[in-house]
Homo-oligomer: A and B are copies of this chain.
Amino acid sequence: MTKNVLVLPGDGIGPEIVAQAVRVLDAVNEQFSLNIVHESALVGGSAYDETGSPLPEATLSKAKAADAILLGAVGGPKWDKLDMSVRPEKGLLGLRSNLELFSNLRPAILYPQLADASSLKPEIVAGLDILIVRELTGGIYFGQPRGIRTLENGEREGYNTYVYNESEIRRIGRSAFEAARQRGKRVCSIDKSNVLEVTVLWKEVMEEVAKEYPDVELTHMLVDNAAMQLVRAPKQFDVMVTGNMFGDILSDAAAMLTGSIGMLPSASLNAEGRGMYEPCHGSAPDIAGKGIANPLATILSVAMMLRYSLDAKDAADAIEAAVSHVLDLGLRTADIASKGSETVSTQAMGDAVLNAL
């Protein structure tokens, strides 16, 4: 049976890194006879420029029909002054919510070959392997009411609503526990239950979910402490589960612990395991078009896509092995360059992965 992949290059470095990832996808498609077809569509700022919308109807309907989506990145200063309703980010948020991609898996892994890239001491991060499970379609990102209003005294007031119901918490909790079962069997749920009622409910529901997974250990941590513990001793964590906003902050901090965010893929899954795959990093407008961006996070996102949504574990393994091999060879894009390594272009990095395959 044919599998349909929708490719959304997006903005900034998106098109460059996605181009390399698609070459890799094509290669394993042939090598492993996967029967994958793919087409491209517009999203983000580039979609706004062409159509006036960051998420055109055509893109959304293709996304709904696809078996999996590969996304580059969206956003950039060019669109910063736009009204929030048509900013590039709304394209991304619209895909997440329309496709109900509630479970965002963000691994923070330190590649042994890149141990030096971290700003942390080697003994603190060597062997780091955390998975952050972030709720992606609820919380303060989507809560109503929201906006900016004028008060009676003439002053303006901005407001957003941080809201979760039990089923939203339960399903992301199950995602985290399922993931933990495949790993270290420990879930740490992050909340601010000493201040925010919504996270009191979060904590309670996590306790309930934990009862379904007697083989997995659940602990709780306050978000401020979690931010500290990530800096102090990140290896204490296996799986961290948290809401949309805290997850945004903590997953970026965790990714940066590795010093090589250009290496980290992510998956955003719905209840059936269909999903969107993208690098953890952003659209890096400052280096867009220069051909120096690191395509490996996007290439590794293809591997995640093959594993989680396209039932092609062998092809996923092959890509990950090829990336590791390329690192062993000492090839590095500028973002992860270090003394003694060879700095290569986006395209050359793609070539090297293809060769290794």
Binding site for B on A (CB under 8 A): 75, 84, 87, 89, 93, 119-121, 124, 140-141, 143, 146-148, 151, 155-167, 192, 194-202, 223-225, 227-228, 230-233, 245-246, 248-253, 255-257, 259, 261
Contacts and interface: CB of A to CB of B under 8 A. Distances in A.
B155 A167 contact: yes
Contact of A256 (B194, B231, B245, B249): B231
A143 B199 CA distance: 15
A114 to B, nearest CB: 14
A228 B252 contact: yes
Given A157-B163, A227-B227, 6 more contacts: A93-B195, A119-B120, A119-B231, A120-B120, A159-B198, A224-B248
Contact of A225 (B155, B251, B252, B259): B252
A75 to B, nearest CB: 7
B160 A196 contact: yes
B198 A158 contact: yes
B140 A196 contact: yes
A227 B250 CA distance: 8
Contacts of A121: 119-121
A224 to B, nearest CB: 4
Most chain B CB within a 10 A radius of its CB, from A195, A225, A250: A195
A199 B75 contact: no
A144 to B, nearest CB: 10
Contacts of A157: 163-166, 201
B200 A227 contact: no
Given A121-B121, A196-B140, A256-B231, A162 B160 contact: yes
Nearest to A79: B194
A249 B191 CA distance: 11
